[in-house]
Amino acid sequence: DTAVSQTPKYLVTQMGNDKSIKCEQNLGHDTMYWYKQDSKKFLKIMFSYNNKELIINETVPNRFSPKSPDKAHLNLHINSLELGDSAVYFCASRTTGNTGELFFGEGSRLTVL
Amino acid sequence: GENVEQHPSTLSVQEGDSAVIKCTYSDSASNYFPWYKQELGKRPQLIIDIRSNVGEKKDQRIAVTLNKTAKHFSLHITETQPEDSAVYFCAASPRAAGNKLTFGGGTRVLVKP
């Protein structure tokens, strides 16, 4: 019974294409995140939503557009993909407040050719 | 915003020895400090956390210490085993930052049998 699930797990695409990654959590959490992990393993926050409302946007290019249709889902759409977008994207969720455990999805490995 | 520095970036130890990873943070409002372990190809998972009202916490072979005055915290793994080989991330979370969790750069730990 997966707590945070994201699809697809792997994405290989050409530069200039548009792609989406979907995320769902069944933990009843109010807050969801997207993190980007590059080849050097840095985990960098991109976005955070609390009850469908954007609360953190970490100067991510506007080619990246998150969408939260409800508090259990947070999707990430990327337009005009660039080589530098290649990374593993992790969805995560947490209860409201800053002291709860962050639960990660399995990650989506995006490769832009 | 919060900035978390983590050292060393790689650590090689003999099985049975201890491993120590150190982190510093910049935001004095941070009050929650978790540690995550990421095995190869897997998602990061919480292994231990500490809150700012506690100076030390232990869970079997893992312990964390926190020095609020100096703004640094450490992870100690005793009697290391090959399954401890992974990337470890420290993180810090300020009280009023929209539930943001900022990660350190990670430490790749290799336990040699």
Average pLDDT over residues B7-20: 97
Categorise residue B41: left if φ over 0, alpha if ψ from -120 to 50, beta otherwise: left
Q: Do B31 and A99 touch (CB under 8 A)?
A: yes
pLDDT mean over A91-113: 91
Q: What is the pLDDT of residue B66?
A: 96
Cis before B113 (ω within 30): no
The tokens for A84 are: 């530098």
pLDDT in tens, A50-60: 888 888 888 78
Minimal Cβ distance to B101: which of A41, A102, A106? A102
pLDDT at A76: 97
pLDDT given for residue B97 in this prediction: 55
Nearest C-alpha in A relative to B29: A98
Cβ pair B77, B47 in contact under 8 A: no
Interface test with A, best of B95, B101, B109 (most A CBs within 10 A): B101
A102 and B97 within 8 Å at the Cβ level: the answer is no
Asked if the Cβ–Cβ distance from B100 to A56 is below 8 Å, we say yes
**Local structure of B60: helix, strand or coil:** coil
Residue from the list A42, A50, A104 with its beta carbon closest to the beta carbon of B99: A50
Let me know if B112 is exposed, middle or buried by CB neighbors in 10 A (0-12, 13-18, 19+): exposed
Q: What is the pLDDT of residue A37?
A: 96
Percent of chain A whose predicted confidence (pLDDT) is above 70 = 99
- Contact check, Cβ <8 Å, B89/A43: yes
Which residues of chain A neighbour B89 with C-beta distances below 8 Å? 43
Residue A104: name the closest of A41, A23, A22 by CA: A23
Q: Which amino acid is at B75?
A: L
Asked if B99's CB is within 8 angstroms of A98's CB, the reply is yes
* Residue of chain A with shortest Cα separation from B49: A101
pLDDT digits (tens, 9 = 90+) for B29-53: 899 999 999 999 999 999 999 998 8
Averaged pLDDT, A80-106: 92
Find all residues with CB under 8 Å of B75, minimum gap 6, and list them. B20, B21, B23, B35, B48, B62, B63, B64, B88, B90
Mean pLDDT, rounded, for A84-113: 92
Distance from first CA to last CA of chain A, Å, rounded? 34
Of the CA atoms within 13 Å of residue B74, those in its CB half-sphere come to 12
Tell me if chain B has a CB within 8 Å of the CB of A107.
Answer: yes
State the average pLDDT over residues A78-91. 96
* A and B: number of Cβ contacts within 8 A: 63
Chain B: residue whose CA lies nearest to A102: B46
**Model confidence pLDDT, tens digit, residues B74-107:** 999 999 999 999 999 999 988 765 668 899 999 9
pLDDT tens-digit map of A15-38:
999 999 999 999 999 999 999 999
